[in-house]
């Protein structure tokens, strides 16, 4: 990529600056203070996360990005209450998080819908657990299915839906509980490129129209820039916050912005952070270097 | 491949499959017919039709081929009338039509021996033993298995002992069962329970462990916890696999039946079989053995069909 003519990713237009000022005036929904996570493995103790600090404002869209093994999944699982942290605090509306709860909705990457329930029953699951009556739960489910455009599939089983539709159901199922924050762990990672970009636009539409704050994990740089207000860049071994980038791409976002100078500048910065100049490979990696032997006719060239 | 291109072949694929299934039954039957009806295949015995000059031969008697040839040579030397006979199979291998007849008479005609049970009476008794044995085993084994599969502490507390106990052969408890439960149906049911229960706990615990972790985590983020996690997520999540396990285990319960019925007073289908074998009514023996297979296989077929309507979301069925 030619980065010489690009503006700095730190330059923000007036509109973008004004937007961040507005965001910063909103109340904090989620606050993470000096969060650390260590766990024991047969190979010894591993520090997955160290000294993570950040906060998310109401109706902000925050993406978390980082190389594989940087602990981004561990981070979101701690926020969801599915894992314990070993140090620091996680505060939701200034109250410490203890275990999973309906105040934090979660969308997983993998197949997480209940296969024995229809689409509608999947969405009704949360309200029913909360103790709502069947009629009320059903009414809520219908509303949210309409929002994700799946009211026609209310009585289908998850296995009858495509990957993109399943993730829509998962989003509706999380949102029906009206959580304070929606945690998304690489939710579109398993989808094909076309479906993925459709889902990204759809997610922005949902986020625009309802009172929800989103924390979104991805390893796709374009996805992060396209969706986020701010991007939390993690580094690996141990997982630490490397930089918090305020995305200078103005809103409303559209796929047309993928080639604007602000977008490319941000992407160049992310690339530099996540894929730095190649460090010398460890020895076991070198041992696995392929030795290319010619198995075809010398004259039979493909390139 | 597109779905439309697939459609016409689905029908013929099904027909082919049905034909092969029928064939798998016809092939062994064909072998049986060949051995029974083609005189030069096997037939190691000779059925005497005319004793001739051999004083101990009788009409209808089965003798070894070599013995028959020796006696024929002997009569020729002594210038006596040689005996006549036709090739025959040993008495323990009746021909298909004889067994088919035994099927009919077993259900329709009073047994030859007085106070001997009818085939269907014996069978009904056996089915009851299986039913109670499997029910009691399931009432204990299924909940234990689900608990062990869900809570690792519970698994670590129970599974080593169960693992040990399952190697103890169920029939070894026969004498003990009789001492405790008497000589009638009690010990028989106990043997089936002992034979099934311990495998059941381990198998169902394993099935429970295979439930996607993401599904449980998703339920937890939706606010599910405690007992509700078990009743609303784990149990419905494993239900189709649990049902499949139970079908396999029911088959195992049948294999313990014969041993179980020999304990205390012999009863049920086993009593029928041993009784008929004692009188050398091997056609009845075969009929009785086959009917066990028919009942077992038939129940499994019905249960298999049922699972399609019980678990419409279960996709592992599509692959079969």
Residues B158 and B305 in one domain: yes
The answer to the question of residue B164 being in a domain is: yes
Tens of pLDDT, residues A25-64: 999 999 999 999 998 888 888 889 999 999 999 999 999 9
- Chain A hits for B212, CB-CB cut-off 8 Å, are 110-112
Residue B82 lies in a domain: yes
User: Using a CB cutoff of 8 Å and minimum separation of 24, what contacts does B73-80 make?
Assistant: B78/B53, B80/B52, B80/B53, B80/B54
A180 to chain B, any CB pair closer than 8 A? The answer is no
B239 class by beta-carbon count within 10 Å (0-12 exposed, 13-18 middle, 19+ buried): middle
The Cα B118–Cα A234 span in angstroms is: 79
Q: Are residues B87 and B209 in the same domain?
A: no
Q: Which two tokens stand for residue A149?
A: 């455009």
Q: How far off is chain A from B226, nearest CA to CA, in Å? A: 12
Q: Are residues B84 and B132 in the same domain?
A: no
Residue B103 domain-assigned? no
A124-150 pLDDT, tens digit per residue, is 999 999 999 999 999 999 999 999 999
**How close does chain B come to A160, measured CA to CA in Å?**
9
- B213 in the same domain as B280: yes
A181 backbone dihedrals φ, ψ, rounded to 5°: -140, 145
Is B122 found in the same domain as B44? no
Residues B241 and B116 occupy one common structural domain: yes
Contact residues, A window 83-102, toward B, CB-based 8 Å cutoff: 99-102
On whether residue B263 sits in a domain, the answer given is yes
A177 at interface of B, judged by CB pairs closer than 8 A:
yes
Give the residue among B268, B259, B245, B241 at the shortest CA–CA distance from B194.
B259
For residue range B134-173, what is the model confidence (pLDDT) as tens digits? 999 999 999 999 999 999 999 999 999 999 999 998 888 9
Backbone φ, ψ for residue B256 (5° rounding): -85, -10
Domain check: are B149 and B265 in the same one? yes
End-of-domain residue from the set B93, B119, B152: B93
Residues of chain B with C-beta less than 8 angstroms from the C-beta of A125:
219, 222, 232
Q: What's the domain range around B192?
A: 108-317
Mean pLDDT of residues grouped by 10 in chain B (320 residues)? Answer: 55 90 95 92 90 87 90 89 90 92 83 75 92 97 96 94 93 91 92 95 96 94 92 95 95 89 86 88 91 91 91 71
CA–CA distance, A303 with A282 (Å, rounded to integer): 31
Does a structural domain hold residue B102? no
What are the C-alpha distances in Å from B185 to residues B180, B188, B266? 12, 5, 10
Contact B218 A116 (CB under 8 A): no
Asked whether residue B127 is assigned to any structural domain, the reply reads yes
Specify the pLDDT at position B266: 82
The total of structural domains in chain B comes to 2
3-state secondary structure of A57: strand
Residues B147 and B52 in one domain: no
Reduce the DSSP state of residue A243 to 3 states and report it: strand
What count of residues does chain A have?
Answer: 303
Of B93, B118, B134, the residue at which a domain comes to its end is B93
- B220/A81 Cβ within 8 A: yes
Say whether A135 sits in a helix, a strand or coil.
helix
- Same domain for B129 and B35: no
Same domain? B88 vs B21: yes
B270: exposed, middle or buried (C-beta count within 10 Å: 0-12, 13-18, 19+)? buried
Q: Chain A residues with CB inside 8 Å of B219's CB? A: 114, 125
Query: Do both B49 and B86 map to the same domain?
Result: yes
In-domain check, residue B99: no
Question: Where in chain A are the domains?
Answer: 14-103+179-287
- B36 and B136 inside one domain: no
pLDDT tens string A240-293: 999 999 999 998 899 889 999 999 999 999 999 988 766 666 666 666 777 888
Best to test chain B binding among A129, A137, A141, A171 (most B CBs inside 10 Å): A129
In CATH terms, the superfamily for domain A14-103+179-287 is: P-loop containing nucleotide triphosphate hydrolases (3.40.50.300)
The answer to whether residue B100 is domain-embedded is no
């Amino acid at each position: 990529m030619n980065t010489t003519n690009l503006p700095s990713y730190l330059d923000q237009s007036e509109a973008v600056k004004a937007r961040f000022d507005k965001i910063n005036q909103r109340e904090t929904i989620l606050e993470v203070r000096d969060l650390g996570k260590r766990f024991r493995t047969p190979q010894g103790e591993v520090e997955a996360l160290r000294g993570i600090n950040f906060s998310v404002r109401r109706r902000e869209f925050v993406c978390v990005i980082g190389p594989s093994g940087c602990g981004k999944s561990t981070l979101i699982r701690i926020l969801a209450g599915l894992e314990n942290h070993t140090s620091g605090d996680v505060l939701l509306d200034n109250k410490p998080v203890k275990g999973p709860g309906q105040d934090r909705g979660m969308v997983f990457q993998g197949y997480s819908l209940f296969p024995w329930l229809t689409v509608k029953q999947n969405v009704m699951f949360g309200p029913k657990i909360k103790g709502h009556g069947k009629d009320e739960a059903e009414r809520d489910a219908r509303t949210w299915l309409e929002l994700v455009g799946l009211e026609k599939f209310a009585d289908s089983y998850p296995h009858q839906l495509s990957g993109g539709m399943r993730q829509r159901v998962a989003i509706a199922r999380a949102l029906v509980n009206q959580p304070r924050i929606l945690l998304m762990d690489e939710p579109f990672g398993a989808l094909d490129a076309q479906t993925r970009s459709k889902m990204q636009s759809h997610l922005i539409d949902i986020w625009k129209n309802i009172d929800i704050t989103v924390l979104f994990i991805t390893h796709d740089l374009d996805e992060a820039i396209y969706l986020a207000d701010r991007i939390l860049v993690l580094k690996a071994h141990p997982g630490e916050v490397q930089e918090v980038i305020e995305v200078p791409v103005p809103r409303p976002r559209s796929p047309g912005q993928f080639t604007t100078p602000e977008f490319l500048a941000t992407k160049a910065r992310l690339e530099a952070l996540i894929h730095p100049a190649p460090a010398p490979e460890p020895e076991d990696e070198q041992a696995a270097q392929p030795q290319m032997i010619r198995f075809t006719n010398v004259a039979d060239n493909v390139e | 491949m597109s779905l439309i291109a697939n459609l016409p072949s689905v029908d013929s694929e099904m027909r082919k499959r049905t034909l092969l299934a029928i064939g798998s039954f016809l092939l062994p039957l064909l072998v049986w017919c060949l051995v029974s009806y083609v005189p030069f295949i096997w037939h190691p015995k000779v059925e005497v039709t005319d004793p001739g000059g051999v004083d101990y031969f009788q009409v209808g008697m089965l003798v070894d081929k070599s013995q028959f040839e020796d006696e024929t040579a002997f009569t020729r030397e002594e210038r006596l009338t040689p005996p006549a006979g036709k090739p025959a199979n040993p008495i323990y291998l009746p021909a298909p039509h004889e067994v088919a007849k035994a099927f009919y008479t077993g259900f329709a005609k009073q047994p030859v021996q007085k106070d001997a049970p009818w085939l269907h009476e014996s069978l009904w008794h056996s089915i009851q033993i299986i039913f109670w044995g499997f029910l009691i085993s399931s009432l204990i084994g299924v909940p234990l298995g689900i608990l062990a599969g869900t809570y690792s502490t519970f698994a670590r507390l129970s599974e080593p002992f169960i693992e040990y106990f399952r190697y103890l052969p169920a029939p070894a408890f026969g004498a003990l069962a009789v001492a405790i439960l008497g000589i009638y149906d009690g010990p028989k049911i106990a043997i089936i329970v002992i034979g099934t229960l311990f495998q059941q706990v381990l198998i169902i615990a394993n099935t429970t462990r295979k439930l996607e972790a993401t599904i449980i985590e998703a339920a937890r983020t939706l606010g599910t916890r405690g007992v509700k996690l078990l009743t609303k997520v784990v149990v419905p999540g494993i239900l189709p696999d649990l049902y499949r396990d139970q079908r396999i285990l029911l088959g195992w319960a049948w294999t313990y039946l014969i041993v179980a019925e020999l304990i205390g007073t012999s009863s049920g289908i086993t009593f029928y079989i041993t009784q008929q074998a004692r009188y050398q009514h091997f056609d009845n023996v075969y009929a009785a053995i086959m009917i066990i297979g028919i009942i077992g296989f038939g129940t499994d077929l019905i249960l298999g069909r049922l699972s399609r309507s019980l678990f419409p979301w279960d996709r592992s069925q599509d692959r079969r």
